[in-house]
Amino acid sequence: MDWLGQYNYYVVFFLMMTGFYVVVARGNLVKKIVGLNIFQSSVFLLYISMAKVEHGTAPIVVADGTVYSNPLPHVLILTAIVVGIATTALGLALVVRIKEAYGTVEEDEIHDQDEPA
């Protein structure tokens, strides 16, 4: 197997671990949303990388027997991008409401305010 030719999977792994680290290690809610978006982008790249067919063409039927690429993964990723944008907007709206209610977006400070005295 050509390890250098699989660089896109290394990029996917790096982005996935970076996004996971940001979500787990950071207490700021906005940074957590950014980490989720990085993680989500790595999944998009993984699906697109796996959908690539060597010497594949657009699925337009012609007379000769050619290899076609399946357009379904690309359509699913377009749908996932739209859902991701909507989820990010909802998450940021919730962060704004949390900031108004608690005066902070740091997770530890929010937990401290919720604990009974």
Beta bridge partners, 106, equal 28
Evaluate if residue 1 carries a pLDDT over 60: no
Q: Which residue has the tokens 């902070």?
A: 104
Q: How far apart are CA 32 and CA 20, in angstroms?
A: 9
pLDDT for the residue 4: 73
The span from the first CA to the last CA of the chain, in angstroms, equals 61
Q: Which residue has the tokens 């699925």?
A: 59
pLDDT for the residue 18: 96
Q: How far apart are CA 13 and CA 19, in angstroms?
A: 10
What's the pLDDT tens digit per position in 7-62? 888 999 999 999 999 999 988 999 999 999 999 999 999 998 888 777 777 777 77
* Sequence-ordered list of residues with C-beta below 8 angstroms from that of 37, at least 6 positions apart, any chain: 19, 84, 88
pLDDT for the residue 54: 77
Q: What is the pTM of this model?
A: 0.83
Evaluate if residue 115 carries a pLDDT over 70: yes
Q: What is the CA radius of gyration of the chain?
A: 20
pLDDT for the residue 57: 74
What's the pLDDT tens digit per position in 56-113? 777 777 767 677 777 888 889 999 999 999 999 999 999 999 999 999 999 999 999 8
Give the type of residue at 115: E
